[in-house]
Structure 1
Amino acid sequence: MTIKKLYDENFAASYQLEQYAFRFTDDQQHQDGLRTLFKHSTVYGAFFDQQLASQIIATPLKVQLFNQIFDMAGIGFVSSDPSFRGQGNIDQLMQQMLVDCYENDILLSYLDPFSYPFYRRYGYELTFERICYDVKSSEWPDSPRSDGYVRRLTWEKAKDAIKQIDQRSDQLKHGSVLREDWWYEYKFSISHTYYFAIYYNEQDQAEGYLIYQIENGKFNCTRWLNLTGTAYKGLNRYIASHKDSTDRIVYEKGYDKNAGFFLQDKPITQATIRPEMMARIVDIEAFLRKCSLKNLKESFAITIEKDKYAPWNEGTFELIKAEAEQPEIRKVTATQLPELKISVQRFAQLFLGYCSINELVFHELVQVDEKIVDTIKQLTPQQVPILEDYF
């Protein structure tokens, strides 16, 4: 078995393996979408003789966290020919991908798992949740008329407003992807067919958008983002206006522990919350150096005892308090400081804001000196991460 990166001449083989593994419709739209993704990603393949046996696609993207920009590898289309499963191909591909991320200062990686235990072995852990509303159209709550207006536009006419709203939104600053131009085209134009609705205020300024499909009697809302409460009302009223032309309204979004039920006089009575994407910290030491940790009240140490696929993370890292500056981060063989012992998976949940230190302590998922619990609490995010993109 040979591990190597795939290039243009390998696209046909890559596409055929993806189509066989994921059973999507083999049409021009899927070919164009995957060709775009292939072009902008690093594709790792395991070959037996000249046959592509397994592959993963790692897409370099950027995310915002701690008011800073982090490089992230989005992992997708992990697939194997059934003839070659169980031979450790994915192990080798994932390990090579993580080494490349480490060497290129890519500190985060996200993926959408088919199995949480399977990807947990590579250091990933559940970090994002999703909420889904799926109701009869007649039960969708309406909103009062707002002073602005909504316009349905083509992608070409809507995309500038959508990009500007994304850039201004605080909702996309807690682990979400900072979408590049090619990613917008790939997600919303090349690989799918959508409708686009923009809400404008009385001054003709765009304050919200809706990206949706209507298929088989369902109004399926893919993205809905508002900068103001009036934008929310205007776009919600627009959704409700489809009650007579559709049977059901479906809306999914990243779950931030607040479903917004309080916004309606008659709240939607059912919603499904489910676990979703996983995340991994590729390089613990570099991640700590990049995080904004100026609130450090007391020096302490973090110990990662095992990280098979990223062994550079194993060991103890001291965070040394410095007056009015970022703490000094140093890797040591032993420490006398109060200590947090944590797995690489729980580290990701803690420092991306999915779990608090109190939750991890309560469920006995970490070992920590009690006197530094408040210090850790002040360092880590108090808002859960949100993600609206898939890989």
Structure 2
Amino acid sequence: MNAAEHYKTRYLEPKDLDQYNALLRYTFQVTEEELNATGWKDDEIKQSKFPVLERADVLGCFDGDALVSQFAVYPLKMNIYDTVYHVGFVTSVCTYPEYTGQGIMKKLMIQGLTQMHEEGKSFALLYPYSIPLYHHLGWEIVSNKISFNIKDRQIPTKVKAPGYVRRVSWDNTEFHELHSHFASITHGCLFRNSLA
């Protein structure tokens, strides 16, 4: 008998937060030192991840009481050629190495994407760490990311333009209205909600 037949799959709950974070840290090799260097503290990480378990669909596979694999789908909206679609943003795709090769992630992925489809979400999106792995699972590339680093000394300072620049908090209403307007006229842009 296959040991995987005894595994249980269910949606994660707030009580699973510590195991959820531990699996993320292990999979993506985030150390306490790296977190501290970026200014994050353990309680802050838990606080930032807690809403994920409340507002996203996070499927987990358990061996007994131990979380061994997880797959999350965040509910978002996206502008695709001037039509706003409900989409699922896939993240937190993790499995401990001793449980890989048993079809666990494939099962979680099928269940999560089926649920997403039943809820009317038209597209699933993710930022893969391994394009060949996800391509093998049926995912396709729809865009490339281009990054630009601009130093402050490269910004023109003698330009006469109305307005001003100021720093605002993430929950600033005007900031969200500006981003929502930008998303409404920009193909491929995600509408950010409080979770994102």
1:17 corresponds to 2:19: no
Report the alpha carbon displacement of residue 122 of structure 1 after superposing the two structures with TM.
Answer: 3.0
Cα displacement (A) at 1:15: 1.6
Q: Structure 2 regions of 5+ residues with no counterpart?
A: 1-6, 36-40
Structure 1 pair 16–161 and aligned structure 2 pair: CA distance change class (3 A): same
Name the residue aligned to 2:105.
Answer: 90
Q: Which residue of 1 aligns with 2:12?
A: 6
As a proportion of its length, which structure holds more helix? 2
Give me the whole-angstrom Cα distance separating, in 2, the residues matched to 1:150 and 1:135: 16
Q: Equivalents in 2 of 1:65, 1:105: separation in Å?
A: 16
Residue 132 (structure 2) aligned to one of 113, 117, 127: 117
Work out which of the residue numbers 190, 193, 196 in structure 2 matches 1:177: 190
Structure 2 letter corresponding to 1:112: Y
Q: Tell whether the 8 Å contact from 1:3 to 1:92 is kept in structure 2 after alignment.
A: no
Cα 1:121–1:74, aligned 2, differ >3 Å: closer, same or farther?
Answer: same
Contact 2:183 2:189 in 1 (8 A): no
The alpha-carbon distance between structure 1 residues 147 and 28, as it changes in their structure 2 partners (threshold 3 A), is same
Deviations 1:13-61 (A, max 9, x none): 1122112222333622211111122211011111222221111111111
- Which of 72, 79, 96 is equivalent to 1:81? 96
Q: TM-score, normalised by structure 1?
A: 0.43
Structure whose alpha-carbon radius of gyration is higher = 1
Compare the two structures and name the one with the higher strand fraction. Answer: 1
Match of 1:162 in 2: 175
Equivalent residues, number: 180
- The Cα of 1:164 is off from its aligned counterpart by 1.9
Residues 183, 190 of structure 2: 8 Å contact kept: no
Question: Are the equivalent residues in 1 in contact too, given 2:90–2:124 (CA < 8 A)?
Answer: yes
Aligned counterpart, 2:156: 142
Q: TM-score, normalised by structure 2?
A: 0.80
Q: Deviations over 1:83-124 (max 9, x none)?
A: 212221111111111221222221100001011111123332
3-state DSSP of counterpart to 2:46: helix
Identity score, percent: 23
SS state of the match for residue 86, structure 1?
coil
Give the Cα–Cα distance (whole angstroms) in 2 for the partners of residues 137 and 105 of structure 1: 44
Q: Which whole-Å CA distance do the structure 2 matches of 1:99 and 1:42 have between them?
A: 12
Q: Distance in 2 between matches of 1:40 and 1:102?
A: 17
The alpha-carbon distance between structure 1 residues 97 and 65, as it changes in their structure 2 partners (threshold 3 A), is same
Question: 1:166 and 1:122 mapped to 2: Cα distance?
Answer: 33
> Does the residue aligned with 1:21 lie in a helix, a strand or coil?
helix
What's the RMSD between the two structures over aligned residues? 2.2
